[in-house]
Amino acid sequence: MTEIRTRDLVISQTDSRPMYLQIVEQIEQRVAVGDWPAGAEIPSIRQLAADLRVSVITVKRAYYELERSGVIATQQGKGSTVAPATRASADLHHGELARQIEHVARLGALSNLSADELAARVRTALAELQRKNREKP
């Protein structure tokens, strides 16, 4: 089971966006990149508030927004979990994938890699990932 660490989140007071939005965006990103997998338990509102040293009402608002957009699911009395793969998380993954691919393309161009060479690198990385997954107990 992947451990959800609240130190994955960092709130900035100089960021002009409201604090609840910073929490929403960072959790969305953790979910999008797969750091926080579907089904993983996320900290309770009061625990996250204590860990981030932000008010309970701010975290409550962030969780409310995340729940509305289907990123997390809250069960009365049981706390919140990352929602199972849904439209919302699929959208998040696609969005993040598009960003990362653009990034890969840019790095490839900077290193003067041809399209074929770049594609080969991606295939190698994919094969490596599959090998690792097979080895997992």
Partner 1 sequence: MNDLAVRFSGVHKQYRHFHLADIDLELPTGSIMGFIGANGAGKSTTLRILMGLVHQDRGAVEVLGQSMPSQQAQAKADIGFVAEDMRLYKWATLAWHMDFIASIYPGWDAAYAAELVRRFDIRPEQKMRGMSHGQRVKAGLLLALARRPRLLVLDEPTTGLDPVARHEVLGALMEVLTDESRTVLFSSQNTLDVEQISDQITFIDRGRIIDSADKESYLERWRRVRLDVPPDVILPALDDVVARSTTGRLTVLTSNRFTAAMAEACAAAGATVNSIETMTLEEIFLANVQQRREKEAA
Residues binding partner 1 (CB under 8 A): 13, 16-20, 44, 46-47, 49-50, 53-58, 61
**Order of strands across the sheet that contains 79-82:** 41-42, 79-82, 72-75
Query: Using only C-alpha atoms, what is the Rg of the chain?
Result: 18
Identify which of residues 50 and 118 has a Cβ nearer to partner 1 in the complex: 50
120 is written with which tokens? 């080969």
Q: 74: which strand partners?
A: 80
CB 46, min distance to partner 1, A: 5
136 is written with which tokens? 């997992």
Identify which of residues 47 and 111 has a Cβ nearer to partner 1 in the complex: 47
Identify which of residues 14 and 133 has a Cβ nearer to partner 1 in the complex: 14
CB 54, min distance to partner 1, A: 6
CB 67, min distance to partner 1, A: 16
130 is written with which tokens? 């599959």
